[in-house]
Amino acid sequence: MTRRRKLRRVIFLFAVGDWRVEERLSTKKPHIEVPPRNAGFLPLDAIASWTADPSLQLLGREPMPIILIVDDSEVDRRQMAGLLGADFDWLVSEASNGTEALDMMSVASPDVVVTDMLMPEMDGMQLVTALGESYPKVPVILVTGQDDVSLAVHALKQGAASYVPKSKLPEKLLETVEQVLSLRDADHTDERIVQATTNTRYRFVLENDPALIAPLVDRVQQGMIGMQLCSPAQRMHLGIALEEALINAMYHGNLELPPHRLTEVRQLLHEGKRSDLVDERRAKSPFRERKIHVAADLTRHRAQFVVGDEGNGFDSAAAMSESSLESVGGRGLVLIQTFMDEVVFNAAGNEMRMTLKQLQPPTVGKTEA
């Protein structure tokens, strides 16, 4: 599954000043002022100014997403920037604490904020709260200092879009930023289409093709936007919960992938590459005959998703235990359980019903970036 933007050449040009790349894009090179680099990072206001430059239209390119890293440790900021640098679709800026981040955002707003938890002046949790009040459309990913599920749950309830344990940064940071960014992009694309709808119902029967997950989530989010059902942050949370449930049904349920291979498979799909293991399972019985059944019911009072697979099921009580939630595959269940008011499995453990009863209407009159 991937929603990667095809902007690598232009961003590489900006990042390293290699004008030969741009010559391969156009026989007539437009004049673009490249902001000076600051020890590997770019000033947020300079990035915003540059991405808004009308000269970029000559290359037929969209504005590039901006990621703001907030951490008081320069070493950790550079580590995260290096991990995100593996994807040249993004531009990265930095702040050393929450107060500095808010000051920078008063001038120019990023697309995603990645923040550490423990910082002077304003810590990560306080920053999550402040951004939720002043910039509700800017998603925040919290980096937790340890594999502390309770701390992550508290941050998600405060409004964070997602979280990554610091020990899992190499495996999870890039994928998490892309997931959050892509769901935010769906909001920007479809928010213009507002319809007077009282309820919306979807029914899907999916093959075990990872490429179908993103379009399904996007379709359901369009229904939420059309109904003006909930706030942008809550809509993103619902999208993440649905996406994680679909991944669980496909990889754990129908294809029965070994748990120790899940990180590798998700990384390959994130990079837009095929997984030999997934292809092998999809072509072999009994996996190829199995389907995923999805029902989404949206009303003014609640949102409910039912995701079922045709696999052998599993012990849902054991999977929801604290020790399992801290395991490799447990993060998705933590996100689902935190974002939804009610999560119930059937007796076989191959169907999950997720319900959100506390819908938050879109905020009117607040500054939204």
Question: What is the count of structural domains for the chain?
Answer: 2
Q: What integer pLDDT is reported at residue 24 of this predicted model?
A: 34
Q: Examine residue 45 and state whether it is found in any structural domain, yes or no.
A: yes
Maximum pairwise Cα distance, the chain: 65
162/225 same-domain check: no
Q: Examine residue 364 and state whether it is found in any structural domain, yes or no.
A: no
Each of the 369 residues of the chain gets a pLDDT tens digit; together they read 444 433 333 333 333 333 233 333 333 333 333 344 333 455 666 655 555 555 544 444 556 788 999 999 999 999 998 888 765 567 888 999 999 999 989 888 899 999 998 898 898 999 999 998 899 889 999 998 766 778 888 888 888 999 998 888 988 898 899 888 877 765 444 444 444 567 889 999 999 999 899 899 999 988 888 788 888 888 999 999 999 999 999 999 999 999 888 888 888 877 778 899 999 999 999 999 999 999 999 988 899 999 999 999 887 776 665 544 455 457 888 899 999 999 999 999 999 999 998 887 766 544 344
Q: What integer pLDDT is reported at residue 308 of this predicted model?
A: 96
101/159 same-domain check: yes
207/95 same-domain check: no
- Neighbouring-strand partners of residue 353: 306, 344
Out of 174, 204, 221, a domain closes at 174
272/148 same-domain check: no
Question: Can you state the percent helix, strand and coil of the chain, rounding each to 5?
Answer: 50, 15, 35
pTM value is 0.66
Q: What integer pLDDT is reported at residue 266 of this predicted model?
A: 84
Question: Which are the contacts of 24, defined by CB distance < 8 A and separation ≥ 6?
Answer: 9
Q: What integer pLDDT is reported at residue 137 of this predicted model?
A: 85
- Host domain of residue 201: 191-356
Out of 174, 209, 225, a domain closes at 174
Q: Examine residue 274 and state whether it is found in any structural domain, yes or no.
A: yes
Tell me the DSSP string of 332-369: HHHHHHHHSSEEEE-TTS-EEEEEE--PPPPPSSS---
Out of 112, 145, 174, a domain closes at 174
Q: What integer pLDDT is reported at residue 328 of this predicted model?
A: 46
161/218 same-domain check: no
Q: What integer pLDDT is reported at residue 142 of this predicted model?
A: 93
Q: What integer pLDDT is reported at residue 146 of this predicted model?
A: 65
CATH number at residue 306: 3.30.565.10
CA distances from 62 to 11, 57, 65, 89, 183 (A): 11, 8, 9, 11, 17
Q: What are phi and psi of 100, to 5 degrees?
A: -65, -40
201/332 same-domain check: yes
Q: What integer pLDDT is reported at residue 16 of this predicted model?
A: 34
- Neighbouring-strand partners of residue 203: 295
